[in-house]
Copies of this chain bind each other. A is one copy, B any other.
Amino acid sequence: MDWSLISGNLLTPPILFFCLGVAAALLRSDLEVPQPITRALSLYLLFSIGMHGGVEFASAGFGFTALKPLLAGIAASALFPLATFALLRRKLGPADAAAIAATYGSISAVTFVTACSFLQDREIAWSGNMVAAMALMESPAILVGVLLARRSGVGNKAGAGGHGSILSLSREAFLNGAVFLLIGALVIGALVGETGWKSVAPFAHDPFKGVLCLFLLDMGLIAGRRLGALRESGGMLLTYAICAPLVHAAIAVGAAYALGLGRGDALLLTVLCASASYIAVPAAIRSSLPEANPSLFLPMSLAMTFPFNISVGIPLYMAVIDATWRAA
């Protein structure tokens, strides 16, 4: 296995800016990114990655090969929460267990984007299907998570607000702003193809890496501010926050290998399975499962799993994939 991948990854601009952000938060510097800018950066990333994925998806055609990683991703995002919920129910109430299950079943778009930039640096190809997989993996985990909580009796009266029915639940899950923009951009990318992409590429593609640096600086600040809140989680959840990505990744690498994916797509599927949501899920959970304590699931995914994945996880998964695929 190629350990230099990990050290090499730590010295790239995006990761270094993430560390700078964490450092600023820990040292209590008054460096901050205004919240509207944070949102704008995330809109930009979803817009870019969605359109780019759509263009590539369309140019590749919609065969069964294209659907394989998609189906694998959706299956993972629906099944992982079941296992997580069963595991965490031993220590946590149903609302919290379900929220964490949804969080870790879903995906992190920023981790995905960082992995894409990692692949790009190493000139490893990946396909637009993976963006489609990402877009479709956000919602099932939310649905499964909330339904698990409901089955355990959480929020069943749901008098106030009326976020009770499966229908309104699916609304939350699919009409979440991030999911909607991502899927919309994907469809638009597929409709307009290469010509359309070329006209927006000087905005959506060329500055992407640089914007990612600023965004990760901000993510570092956000994560750093929540490191303190991890104390509330206790050792078991902290262990989970590092082990879950590893276990999910191991399963994903196996699946990718079985499905015969290329190295690029294999890494992306792995990263999707290993990552935890802090965009779509927290928003949906706050609406549908307000009983869950946000100071548990949010700091875990933001301040533990996300930094782990972008710093050590991505190159580690790549090294494992390289070794496995080469051995084959």
- Which residues of chain B are within 8 angstroms of A283 by Cβ–Cβ distance? 30
Report yes or no: B200 in contact with A213, Cβ–Cβ below 8 A. yes
Task: Please pick, from B29, B175, B191, B199, the residue contacting A16 in the complex, using a CB distance under 8 A.
Answer: B191
Which of chain A's residues 186-218 have a Cβ closer than 8 Å to chain B?
188, 191-192, 196, 199-204, 206-211, 213-214, 217
Which of chain A's residues 207-257 have a Cβ closer than 8 Å to chain B?
207-211, 213-214, 217
Residue of B nearest to A11 (CB): B191
Report yes or no: B32 in contact with A34, Cβ–Cβ below 8 A. no
Which of A20-28, A131-139, A262-270 is the contact stretch?
Answer: A20-28
Q: In the complex, what's the smallest C-beta–C-beta distance from A102 to chain B, in angstroms?
A: 17
Residue of B nearest to A210 (CB): B203
| CB of A184 closer than 8 Å to a CB of B | yes
Report yes or no: B29 in contact with A33, Cβ–Cβ below 8 A. no
Residue of B nearest to A47 (CB): B214
- Which residues of chain B are within 8 angstroms of A51 by Cβ–Cβ distance? 13
Report yes or no: B196 in contact with A13, Cβ–Cβ below 8 A. yes
Report yes or no: B202 in contact with A206, Cβ–Cβ below 8 A. yes
- Cα(A29)–Cα(B206), bound, Å: 29
Residue of B nearest to A188 (CB): B16
Report yes or no: B13 in contact with A192, Cβ–Cβ below 8 A. yes
Q: Given A37-B40, A40-B34, A43-B33, A203 and B209 touching (CB < 8 A)?
A: yes
| CB of A159 closer than 8 Å to a CB of B | no
Q: How large is the interface on A (under 10, 10 to 19, 20 to 34, 35 or more residues)?
A: 35 or more
| CB of A165 closer than 8 Å to a CB of B | no
| CB of A36 closer than 8 Å to a CB of B | yes
- Cα(A204)–Cα(B212), bound, Å: 11
| CB of A123 closer than 8 Å to a CB of B | no
- Cα(A180)–Cα(B221), bound, Å: 13
Task: Please pick, from B12, B36, B196, B213, the residue contacting A37 in the complex, using a CB distance under 8 A.
Answer: B36
Report yes or no: A40 in contact with B33, Cβ–Cβ below 8 A. yes
| CB of A153 closer than 8 Å to a CB of B | no
Which of chain A's residues 3-24 have a Cβ closer than 8 Å to chain B?
11-13, 16-17, 20, 23-24
27 A-B pairs within 8 Å (CB atoms) are namely: A13-B192, A13-B199, A16-B192, A17-B184, A20-B185, A20-B188, A24-B180, A24-B181, A28-B171, A29-B180, A31-B177, A31-B181, A32-B177, A34-B39, A34-B40, A37-B37, A37-B39, A37-B40, A121-B199, A199-B209, A199-B210, A200-B209, A200-B213, A202-B206, A203-B207, A203-B211, A207-B207
Instruction: Identify 7 new A-B residue pairs, CB closer than 8 A, beyond the known A31-B178, A47-B213.
Output: A11-B191, A11-B192, A30-B177, A36-B36, A37-B37, A200-B210, A203-B206
